[in-house]
Amino acid sequence: MIENENIPIPVEYQDICPIPDKDFQTAMTILVQEPGFQNIVSMALPNYKYSELKHVLLSINSKHEFQVKVMKPFMEGLMAKTGTTLTTSGNENLDGEVPYTFVTNHRDIVLDSAQLSYLLIKGGRDACQIAIGNNLLIYDWITKLVRMNKSFIVKRNLGRIQTLTAAVQLSGYMHFAVEQKRASLWIAQREGRCKDSNDRTQESLVKMLAYGNRDKSFIESLKELNIAPISISYEYDPNDYLKAKEFLCKSKNPNWRKAPEDDLISMKTGIIGHKGEVHYAFTPCINTELDNIPEGLDKFLEVDRVCAIIDHAIHQNYKIFKTNYIAHDILFDDKHFADKYTQEEREAFEQYLSSQIDKTEGLKLSEADRFYMYNKMLQMYSNPLSNYLEATK
């Protein structure tokens, strides 16, 4: 099912929606002249001449064509180059004629949504529209690129009143996209990546999703979005040491904040780094479970119940890797899962964590700092297993 491009975008959503196909070629003509875009393309595809790639890009007429002709082969080349294996389960839970709002845990800034769109296209569906925070759009050409790549903008870092206005606009657009354009959407279960992999759905996200139709009850408004959780599991997280570095910096200075360049470094590291196997588990739409929430429940309890439904779907469908079993045993100083790995594999994983810490730049690490980062990385790899055990017991 391809989303309906014949439905015009209401004026109130035009500053956050993907670029319409009728404007695609004009936007591409401008984008290919941007030095920043040329640099990123040359870095990502060093074996191709930019002039040849430019010719291909200028021949594309739509976002769907861009996904099929550019993003799909790019993802296939990237996976081959990085040795990434992309696997799935639960594909039978998707109805080919139904647009979904996919809500997932969030590991990688770029690849979580890019890999999902690749899997959808490979399975014969249209790529999904992608929610992206404007904090990542540090250059105009990046904004143009992501909107051409089916992204819609989440406005962040606003005042209180502006935040509510932006949330109503965002939710309204999402309802419009699902119900009228018949587009599937992707949004992370919380703002930003979950740095310690202890995945929990943000209450404010669930509240925002329901703002789009205030003529209906909270639950009925959510049902219009056909929310379908997806559980994403990484065997190795290339950004694990960068996430641990953030924890360390904040432990030393509670007011520490990332620079815009830090997100670019995380994007690049996530794209080109070693991931091993990455697994996407598609779970059923939660509408039936939403119907089971008692009527008349306090609003806060309703929100809490919806978050719990999404969390449970994600937690019980993790793919558990040896890295998770090993990290759990090391962290808790036991051998509960020793039958899941060999001693050689455990030693190799310990060496992997140490070598990741060695990559840390910009800090002079003491032994205490290294131990802190090592422990944080163990938590990142063990938390999915802890949540899986709790969800499946």
Do residues 204 and 77 touch, judged by C-beta distance below 8 A? Answer: no
| pLDDT value of position 136 | 87
- Whole-model pTM: value is 0.95
pLDDT tens for each residue of 61-114: 999 999 999 899 989 989 999 999 999 999 999 999 999 999 999 999 999 999
288: its two tokens: 């039936």
Assign 289 a pLDDT band (cuts: 50, 70, 90): very high
Distance of CA 277 to the CA centre of its chain: 16
Which residue type, as a one-letter code, is found at position 59? S
Query: What pLDDT band is residue 45 in, cutting at 50, 70 and 90?
Result: confident
pLDDT at res. 288:
97
In whole numbers, what is the pLDDT of the chain averaged over residues?
Answer: 94
Report the distance separating Cα 113 and Cα 151, nearest Å.
Answer: 10
d(CA 330, CA 334): 7
Give the Å distances, CA to CA, from 357 to 238, 242, 250, 366, 373.
11, 9, 17, 12, 7
Q: What's the distance, Cα to Cα, between the start and end of the chain in Å?
A: 37
CB 63 within 8 A of CB 149: yes
Amino acid found at 385: L
